[in-house]
Chain A
């Protein structure tokens, strides 16, 4: 079995889909130079300038143009550069992309993927570190995908590019260089299927993105104490796989939700609400959450590390239950 980094897996997925379908084009800032994360390295040489489109620093135009192309026969994959910059194109994402199909009574499909390099990267601070996935899960009409492994990233991105619906595709910047096993050849992962990253019996830890890795570390540590942790990665926030979550919690009867987003109004609050509404009788203890403090991500490392949940925070949350 071969291993790839997540950046390599995403690059392979994009390359395969561009080779497969001439309607697929990539748009964004610095794509030809493959800056800053290297995903599109070599693309312009292979696919030409017509399909590897560098845009000026014009986020609204990047996203609006992707929509215009998507509803008239293309399959654009737009690169937000840093997820934080989507704020400069929120009308295009929230009012236009998410709504045109519905507003027009289903007259158009919107086969569009918006790649969002997200989350903390050391010292990037407030404008380059946010975890904004809840905003988009809160917007009807969008698919929201957030893989945590190279194999999931590849399989999900390929599925999204072949689909007919707009996808906000979060890629954690801390995970670009993290390696994992990626199967050779065609791999497609359906949307809306959670994945149990580690089976366990005492408590379910639901985590997304980089936090999946911290949850797995915490599970290792807790195993030394005899606590068996099941780590569940939803992989997609919309559509969300409630069935797998509920099956896990019905087994463990305890749940911790871990995410990098600031706690108030984060997607984990929605997961907690579903459990409270629909699975209350299965819970033997209060739902626990570990999320970032409700502040912008600060620059200085001690503050940055304090704000974002770490392995110790996950361990502590589990210990409150067991």
Chain B
């Protein structure tokens, strides 16, 4: 039996991500946030499941759909919200925004505006861990769209030949922007490509936080013990458009409805309530706590100053 503490941690993390993302959705729709945002609503189980299998000093490489990864790894949601509001108090002082958000203090070495931009970097983080003998691991999120880019091949091959402690976690939501995985990928299960690198690919239900956690935990334990990298494919459903405002004319609405019927939060909460581990009020209090946290994050962001225009000239180089 999985520990109750872990299940509650997973549920709480998913509730916090959902609450953060829904608030961002509403703020963006109201024209309050500049740029554009890619939300992970519906995909919370991969972020929570994977990051709950990590130590606080482990590293994460994220993607353009990375708010959930940040929250799950322990980033301060007030600084995150301030970043999305383009404020000086943001995680990246307003220089990164949603697509380049990072919090090195919790080991998140960046979202990435370039699809598949993080995989080769993750290999290097793994190399550094090996050289420093620090016992850390690096978990690299990427998507089904990224899986078809060349650097994925180079990074996985390198991680295998150097036996690096890197977990490559593919969140396959079936859509590379507006191009379907079915059309754009040579195989239905991307995990089969793992065998091309001498790895055993693992497919998990990415709508099941415990399943993701357990698969990642196995890979993390093996990597920490010197067993080298892993390739896990988590099948998820993207509830929102590629970006907020995407009319999604290319997509069958039934797919989204099916995804919502498999809500990872509802799934875990129901299981815990059915087992008598949590009551209605326990679950409601998780949502209330998350709402309070995000209310506070928005208030912090709203009351924070914008950067001075000439702050644009700072942070390019160290020591300058």
Residues of A within 8 A of B (CB): 25, 50-51, 53, 55-56, 58-61, 63-74, 76, 91-92, 95-96, 99-110, 140-141, 143, 163-165
Contact = CB atoms under 8 A, between A and B. Distances in A.
Given A103-B102, A107-B104, A64 B109 contact: no
Contacts of B151: 60-61, 64, 91-92
Given A68-B124, A72-B132, A102-B315, 5 more contacts: A64-B119, A66-B124, A95-B113, A95-B114, A106-B93
B315 A105 contact: yes
A25 B128 CA distance: 10
A66 B124 CA distance: 6
Contact of B121 (A56, A96, A106, A164): A96
B318 interface: yes
Top 9 closest pairs, chain A to chain B, by CB: A64-B120, A68-B124, A65-B124, A105-B93, A164-B318, A61-B154, A106-B315, A105-B92, A58-B154
Contact of B104 (A53, A60, A61, A108): A108
B100 A67 contact: no
Nearest to A88: B150
A65 B314 CA distance: 26
Contacts of A56: 154, 157-158, 161
Contacts of A106: 93, 314-315, 318
B145 interface: no
Interface string B302-316: 000000000000111
Given A103-B100, A104-B92, A72 B120 contact: no
B37 interface: no
B123 interface: yes
Nearest to A25: B131
B110 A100 contact: yes
A141 B93 CA distance: 17
11 contacts: A60-B120, A60-B154, A68-B121, A68-B126, A69-B131, A101-B318, A103-B110, A104-B92, A104-B102, A105-B91, A107-B105
Contact of A68 (B90, B103, B120, B150): B120
A65 B102 contact: no
Contacts of B100: 99, 103-104
B264 interface: no
A53 B158 CA distance: 11
A61 B149 CA distance: 12
A165 B318 contact: yes
Interface of B: 59, 90-96, 100, 102-105, 109-110, 112-114, 117, 119-132, 138, 150-151, 154-155, 157-158, 161-162, 314-319
Contact of B95 (A55, A64, A102, A163): A102
A222 to B, nearest CB: 39
Contacts of A51: 131
B228 to A, nearest CB: 15
A86 B128 CA distance: 22
B121 A67 contact: yes
A105 B110 CA distance: 11
A95 B114 CA distance: 8
A65 B132 contact: no
Given A71-B109, A72-B59, A101 B122 contact: no
A69 B128 contact: yes
A69 B102 CA distance: 17
Q: Which of B128, B130, B162, B317 has the most CB of A within 10 A?
A: B317
Nearest to A66: B124
A68 B128 contact: yes
Contacts of A58: 154, 157-158
Nearest to A23: B131
Nearest to A164: B318
A163 to B, nearest CB: 8
B108 to A, nearest CB: 10
B96 A104 contact: yes
Contact of A101 (B128, B129, B158, B317): B317
Contacts of B121: 64-65, 67-68, 71, 92, 96
A165 B318 CA distance: 6
A164 B319 CA distance: 8
B90 A105 contact: yes
Contact of A61 (B91, B138, B157): B157
Nearest to A50: B131
B96 A103 contact: yes
A104 B128 CA distance: 20
B104 A69 contact: no
A68 B127 contact: yes
Contacts of B314: 106
A85 to B, nearest CB: 13
B315 A101 contact: yes
B111 to A, nearest CB: 9
A66 B128 CA distance: 9
B124 A69 contact: yes
Nearest to B166: A68
A70 B132 CA distance: 12
A61 B123 contact: yes
Q: Which of A61, A73, A92 has the most CB of B within 10 A?
A: A61
